[in-house]
Amino acid sequence: MPSSLLIILLFLLSISLSSAQTYNILSYGAKPDGKTDSTKALTVMWAKACASVKPVTILIPKGRFLLRSIVFDGAKCKRKSVTFRIKGTLVAPSDYRVLGKENYWIFFQHLDSLSVYGGVLDAQGASLWSCKKSGKHCPSGATSIGFQSSSNVVISGLTSLNSQMFHVVINGCRNVNIQGVKVSADGNSPNTDGIHVQSSSTVSILNSKISTGDDCVSVGPGTNGLWIENVACGPGHGISIGSLGKESVEAGVQNVTVKTATFTGTENGVRIKSWARPSNGFAKNIRFQHCVMNNVQNPIVIDQNYCPGNENCPNQVSGIKISDVIFFDIHGTSAREVGVKFDCSSKKPCTGIRIQDVKLTYQNKPAVVDCSHAGGTETGFQRSNSCL
């Protein structure tokens, strides 16, 4: 075979292999009526896509698709690169018991270069919230969407509604970009954290709006390199690092920046919290900057005496070491007299705390500051009393 012809054939083969192959859920029997179970169709489609040697795009068109719990595991896929384009709505069964004992409703793992664009996830979690509030025996509930042991992940334009538990979880992942995400649940919905990150590195959360009944963003152990910018939070419990120190041996949290965030009517603003019990964990190199507080109950908090229900931690102190934390250009209104509270560990006091250009008011007067076992510096800090 002439060498020129061989080159052309190889070129055409490379184009064929590199061109994406699209799979449409409608072609596998799914119906966009919100009533017909699409789980089997999506499972069969995933098996086909997983076997493809080409880049894969999975398309979920407009309409409502009923979906039970599903796992997208890339461990045995020929290519780890997958794009999900969701133009419609994935809706969970209305009976919370169908998903209630599952860890996740939709779960991705062992993938590289995974992208999820658009779409609405409607978990219909309100009935489970009601069950929990009634004091009855209820399942914990499923996280709406989770990503684990994956790298180079993009989540863009996704909307998560009324999750049973957490809305979005990033666990054990590397290089994750979350942008333009909307999270919505009732302000009284229990344990419905908006975005939870743990054991992951190089994660960004940008240009997102989170309204929920628990933390807007929660940061768990083992997080290194988290950037949060231009996030609107409220209702909710704010942006929280922790709770940390639940385990005696635990990976630390480091290199976290929260920038240009707005908190409206939230229980907390920016917070670091740890259990009041022994642990070798830590939180260091944390930056909270350019934040606006609108009628926030606890705008700035370090709480190292977290002990819910006074179980497994009374009369103990936190072993978590908190250091090198900057609060810069944070202003607005506190819903309570105390606007800044640092309740640090007596065993391992907070060090390297820096407060700069913080101006918080309560009823048109400078908010009160309450500090225990905290050391650092303060400049340009409008306050009614001294702190560091």
Rounded Cα distance between 81 and 58, Å, is: 11
Q: Helices marked H in 126-220 — which ranges? A: 126-134
- Given 237, 290, 331, 373, which residue is catalytic? 237
Q: Which residues pair with 366 in a beta bridge?
A: 361
Asked if 118 and 88 count as a contact pair (C-beta separation under 8 A), the reply is no
- Residues 58, 31: contact at Cβ < 8 Å? no
C-alpha span between 258 and 270 (Å, rounded): 9
Element (H, E) at 347: none
Distances (CA, A) of 276 to 113, 237, 254, 306, 347: 39, 20, 20, 6, 10
DSSP annotation of 27 reads: G
Q: Give phi and psi for 38, each to the nearest 5.
A: -100, 5
Phi, psi of 313 (to 5 degrees): -150, 0
Q: Which two tokens stand for residue 158?
A: 């996704």
What tokens appear for 27 in the block?
A: 């072609």
Element (H, E) at 196: strand 195-198
Rounded Cα distance between 90 and 344, Å, is: 44
237 as an active site residue: the answer is: yes
Q: Which residues pair with 154 in a beta bridge?
A: 115, 177
Q: What angle do CA 12, 18, 20 make, to 5 degrees?
A: 120
**Strand runs labelled E in 297-349:** 298-306, 321-334, 338-343
Annotated catalytic residues are 237
